[in-house]
Amino acid sequence: MPSVRDVVVVGAGLSGLMAVYRLKALGIPTIWVIGGGVDRSNSVLAQGGIAAALSPEDSVDAHLQDTVIAGDGLVEEDVARGIISEGAQIVSHLVHLGVPFDKNPDGTLNMTREGAHSRRRILHIKDETGKGMMHYLFKFVSGVEKVRGRLVDLLVEDGEAYGVRVKTNGHTEDIYASAVILATGGYTGMYIHSTGNADQDGVGIALAAHYGAVLRDTEFIQFHPTVFFGGGKAFLITEAVRGEGAILLDSKGERFMVEEHPMAELAPRDIVARAIHRRGGAYLDFRPIQEKGIDIEERFPHIVEVLRKEGIDPLRELVPVYPAAHYYIGGIKVDWWGQSDIKRLMVIGEAASTGLHGANRLASNSLLECVVMGYRSTFRAWWYATQEPHREVPKFESKEYENLSSDGHLKGQMSRHAGIIRNGYGLRKVARKLLSHMENGNLPLGSQRWAQIMLSGATICSGWWRTESRGAHYREDYPEKWKEKKHSHITLKEIRQCLERMGGV
């Protein structure tokens, strides 16, 4: 028998957790699909912190200005102002709730600075902020029914959502609800090297698009500049390290970011990532932090521990770093409340495109967006559940769901031709590869490979259309910006047509 609830939330990261926290407070019967568990979400990997204009020296206007500059012309300022303003209030609530953000000896919040921020406004919990926030807030959602399982389908008919289909313990389960909140994370797994968790397979985004939601700005993939590769795995080193004074050196041991941007190591991430990429890598020097009198082992204990296990002592040695895919800036286009183009389907967190990030996300604005949109989405969910509940639910036929894993060769093609630096020739080459996959068939709906093909196609098509360089999207054959600032929009139906046009060029 299918489960029936007022609201179903899918996704175990911070945005999903905040939605569940708020729904519980509202007394709305909710079921929470948590995949492999909260410790398999990307949120627990977030090191740096959460940005909020809380200090006397800061303001919503200053935070907004930094966000707009980093977003390189595509930030929707009314949306950004709302999230930044409301975010400061919600973060203040979390502080009063007891979330263990680091404090100064006098009891005030200890705030750090990251790339493209003009002020110290990043609240943090050592260098494991996401994990600290998640574990603390999780205790407030005890009693909420949780399901471990993998999302394989959305139950949608005539542009309206009725629930989700989840595969758990070898069988599928339908969960009906008057409102669906999708918080399934972004998709950087289309590249060989990603800082994200392997569970973030893009299926949630692809399913929403499959049923009619619009994808926006999928060409913008943020590459984090400072990633250490040890044991074949990508380990992100937070930007807060540079915020506290660490510098970047080239292979000759010379500092180079001072020549690249007025903010040097704290330039926007796309600029730092391209500078490192052009040099074939760089070295992160922690020693200036010590010279400022900051105890590195106290401030960044997790990073120090991981690097020492890999045979590098950052207190004495340089740390080799290179960029890796980190954040899916685009996503499902949503409104102020997280509402997608599918009625009753809200999309939040990294899966959504709210307009906050523009062409390049400002560091630590992601967790801020998570808490705000997690909170906001519950207002629309409450309305559907209490004022406009489903009266009848159509019968959805059962299906078999085969989960083909993602294709490693395609990840290599995306990394080479649709990564930090792109051009038309490379994008066409990947388009032909994607068409080959589509024509060969065997792409089961809801599988990892299906999502990989569809979302890689969206990135390729949007990147082909954007014949300019802006933010995280850099075309070496079109290095200048357009005078007109435009968002990209694409549906899954249009992706095949676009790839065919590209492949025939």
Catalytic positions: 269
- Give the integer Cα–Cα distance in Å for 499 and 504: 8
Which residues have a Cβ under 8 Å from the Cβ of 95 and sit 6 or more positions away?
A: 101, 109, 123
Task: Assess contact for 329 and 361: CB atoms under 8 A.
Answer: yes
> Phi then psi for 225, rounded to 5 degrees?
-70, -35
DSSP at 190: T
Closest CA to 261 of 246, 273, 279: 273
* Cβ pair 213, 340 in contact under 8 A: yes
Place of tokens 């992100």: 236
Q: How many CA atoms lie within 13 A of 491 on its CB side?
A: 10
Q: What is the dihedral of CA 289, 193, 456, 183, to 10 degrees?
A: -60
Q: Which residues contact 131 (CB under 8 A, 6 or more apart)?
A: 44, 45, 46, 125
Helix axes 448-465, 424-440, angle to 10 degrees: 150
Under 8 Å between Cβ of 285 and 292: no
In single-letter form, the type of residue at position 301 comes to P
Strands (E), 107-250: 111-112, 122-123, 145-147, 150-157, 160-168, 171-182, 215-216, 221-230, 233-236, 247-249
CA distance 213 to 307: 42
Do 35 and 148 touch, CB atoms closer than 8 A?
yes
Q: Determine contact, residues 385/147, Cβ cutoff 8 Å.
A: no
Closest CA to 323 of 278, 369, 285: 278
